Amino acid sequence: MNKHASQPRAIYYVVALQIWEYFSFYGMRALLILYLTNQLKYNDTHAYELFSAYCSLVYVTPILGGFLADKVLGNRMAVMLGALLMAIGHVVLGASEIHPSFLYLSLAIIVCGYGLFKSNVSCLLGELYEPTDPRRDGGFSLMYAAGNVGSIIAPIACGYAQEEYSWAMGFGLAAVGMIAGLVIFLCGNRHFTHTRGVNKKVLRATNFLLPNWGWLLVLLVATPALITVLFWKEWSVYALIVATIIGLGVLAKILSQSRKPETA
């Protein structure tokens, strides 16, 4: 039998996580505009501004999440932390009927979780293969196909839960999906021991009177708080500009470091 015929066992845990992440993300997104306009009584302009800012930030923050994973966390820890934050964010979103501040906080937490998760789950999958492994293309195709399954089912399932029960139930179902994916992934943790883990040396190093792990904790608390204020004050467009500039700076630094010197 061809030794390359089957995929590594770890891929099935990544695929399961991807299905449930798509389910969670697209399930919530399908409800968000309707929730803002029908339940919270936002006018269309305010609702679409908030929705657009949210969608923009979730696609900018993976640049920063990838940088953190590369320097400190490693892909596996970044993916797990991102999934946990997204699950928490969806739970908090279900409580936003109590007070609008929960809405902004929940979206900020989801943005941070998505930033840690999105780029790093693909990198984690890449770590399962050698660069020349012929199974590599098939593995990525399987992951993206599985994600599409989750995104198709999500609006139907979450929409049904909202229609039959409540908005909190619709968002709660998205949270349950993300938690299910994380639990499945953790069950297969032994299959990822060969992947790059947390850089403990960097984490323990001290900068500006604090160890880097302390700065990481500050970042995990301060970033959602800052994004919450930006959403609340409707300064999201400025946040997007700043995040884009920072992201481009990070990309420029990565490209400059990866550029190999030319040989004569």
Q: pLDDT by residue (tens digit) across 103-128?
A: 889 999 999 999 999 889 988 988 88
- Does 3 map to a domain? no
Which secondary structure element, helix H or strand E, spans residue 207, and what is its range? Answer: strand 206-207
CA pseudo-torsion sign 168, 113, 87, 26? positive
Q: Is the pLDDT of residue 88 over 90?
A: yes
- What is the domain-level CATH number for residue 51? 1.20.1250.20
Q: Which residues pair with 206 in a beta bridge?
A: 211
The verdict on residue 76 lying in a domain is yes
Average pLDDT in the 173-195 region?
Answer: 90
pLDDT at 36 over 70: yes
pLDDT-derived band of residue 259, with 50, 70 and 90 as boundaries?
low
Among the residue ranges 5-14, 130-139, 149-158, 243-252, the one predicted with the least confidence is 243-252
Domain membership of residue 158 (yes or no) is: yes
**Residue 2 within any structural domain of the chain:** no
Buried b (16+ CB within 10 A) or exposed e, 195-210: bbeebeeebeeeeeee
Q: How many residues does the chain have?
A: 264
Amino acid letter, residue 56 = S
Region of 167 please: left (phi>0), alpha (psi -120 to 50) or beta.
alpha
Split into its structural domains, the chain has a count of 1
pLDDT in tens, 44-82: 888 888 888 888 888 888 888 888 888 888 889 999 999
pLDDT band (50, 70, 90) for residue 236: low
Q: Which amino acid is at 136?
A: R
What pLDDT score does 264 carry? 44
CA 152 to chain centre: 19
Reported pTM: 0.84
Do 45 and 234 form a contact (C-beta atoms < 8 A)?
A: no
| 140 is a domain residue | yes
On average, the pLDDT of the chain sits at 84
On whether residue 177 sits in a domain, the answer given is yes
pLDDT more than 70, % of the chain: 91
- Is residue 257's pLDDT more than 80? no
Per the domain annotation, does 127 fall within a domain? yes
pLDDT in tens, 188-234: 888 888 887 777 777 777 777 777 777 778 878 877 787 777 777 76
Specify if 264 maps to a domain.
no
| Cα radius of gyration (the chain) | 19
CA–CA separation, 75 and 155 (whole Å): 29
18 vs 4, more confident: 18
**Which structure tokens are listed for 206?**
């001290």
Q: Residue 143, SS3?
A: helix
1 — pLDDT class (breaks 50, 70, 90): very low
Domain with 99, as residue range(s), is 10-258
